[in-house]
Structure 1
């Protein structure tokens, strides 16, 4: 565990989560501000959030995995993909990055358009219970897409995981904006709430995404496409002491070779 935390790769990964969440929150919230000459549309906001996630996953996925979301990080922890310490530092970095991005946006946006900084709120007479349900469903489909599109065991034509994940985020916003402004990400909700100091029904935007992420992780990693790992291996991953067996490494390499061979020639 100490070896993982003290490594340079770990520090880079945590910093990447900070930077990625900062940029995501700045771009996403910035798209939803109410400029007087051109009010933002739902399609515009959805594309801005989706394209920003897709871009950041493509840019930083190889450094940290580009979680950019505490619900995703918790899902990876539950699915035995990362250690408890990595999850903790990732979530701290995401929250700090989100708050920094929101604070920068608040500072540079004209006072007449910043409003509540696109804070998540219950819309169209949505009750807290309905809001939690919609956030669970939207986060579930996002996290399920993340696991499926980044699964190294697949040998079919995946296409672009970054694009798939970005489209999943955009899809969630096309529906979720009507209910809650669409969170799917506690860091995205927490950041503007801290800056504008408004926490009405804020618990909704933690409970919904976290439950949705956990459900998706359990269903994908333990029911739909489970990993063949022993309890000891899962414990080693949890503690940050796991090293893949040589056979598992060879299998991953072979999968990558098959995937490259199976790609169609354009």
Structure 2
């Protein structure tokens, strides 16, 4: 008789060091959603803080434009290594259409973004005096995205759809494996793109491009006039841009493009499935 010693390898599921009851892959998903929540809340706090008109000085368009764009730059720099850092349901919708995130994850992201936007705007209102919450001497809540008086709703819808299309094309280009070698300045690309869109459309529609960003002030102010523009426009632009890029512009990347950045992105996507 020969006794053979067999080594039995038991795989132990990795768990979070603090929350032992939660498997690590589930904890990662929770962390991603939490980062979307905090990132979108930060977007509302900082971008709305840059356009407060009750301090006595008039807000010039370039101030609001750069404030919004640089806010996006900071948030993407901060949370880009934790999550996909969409902070925008229109971006998440495009990512789902292009199959960069799964549908369940996309839904969780969108819920996190909407709740984060509401929480962020509510927090900003809570920590600032009530006399700063309105535009000049009017009773209109500040930070509402509204079309200019000379812009009718249909034109407003078209403008929001166009600028969102351009934003989503940037997203699709950065997700494209062919651009994996140029990922170091992603936050700057997003930030300055938002600045350009704000300069172009800020005085026309408020340059929202983000349903969650528009929803939070409208919900808290209970002001719904023309707010459909800021859902229909970005969603239309997102669907059009993502489908256009997916079926017209996209190509399979050559092997030399499969750099560390590409492999990292693929690993993140697998973990999110």
TM-score range, shorter chain: 0.7 to 0.9
Structure 2 vs 1, CA of residues 67 and 158 (structure 1 numbering), >3 Å: closer, same or farther?
closer
Structure 2 Cα separation of the partners of residues 112 and 138 of structure 1: 33
Gaps of 5+ in 2: 1-21, 135-140, 264-273
Name which of 125, 131, 138 aligns with 2:150: 125
TM-score by length of 1: 0.81
Structure 1 runs (4+) deviating above 4 angstroms are 3-6, 155-159
Structure 2 vs 1, CA of residues 18 and 175 (structure 1 numbering), >3 Å: closer, same or farther?
same
Q: Is the 8 A contact 1:46 1:173 kept in 2?
A: yes
In structure 2, the partner of 1:253 is 260
Name which of 34, 44, 48 aligns with 1:15: 34
In structure 1, the partner of 2:249 is 224
In structure 1, the partner of 2:118 is 99
Structure 2 vs 1, CA of residues 254 and 195 (structure 1 numbering), >3 Å: closer, same or farther?
closer
What is the CA-CA distance between 1:221 and the residue it aligns to? Answer: 2.1
Structure 2 Cα separation of the partners of residues 164 and 119 of structure 1: 26
What is the CA-CA distance between 1:32 and the residue it aligns to? Answer: 1.4
Q: Which has the larger radius of gyration?
A: 2
TM-score by length of 2: 0.79
Structure 1 Cα separation of the partners of residues 180 and 124 of structure 2: 42
Secondary structure of the equivalent of 1:218? helix
Name which of 218, 226, 231 aligns with 1:201: 226
Q: How does 1:171-190 map to 2 (within 5 A)?
A: 171-190=196-215
Structure 2 vs 1, CA of residues 7 and 227 (structure 1 numbering), >3 Å: closer, same or farther?
farther
Secondary structure of the equivalent of 2:58? coil
Gaps of 5+ in 1: 229-246, 257-266
Deviations 1:62-101 (A, max 9, x none): 2211000000000101111111110100000000000001
In structure 1, the partner of 2:49 is 30
What is the CA-CA distance between 1:145 and the residue it aligns to? Answer: 1.2
Structure 2 Cα separation of the partners of residues 27 and 126 of structure 1: 27
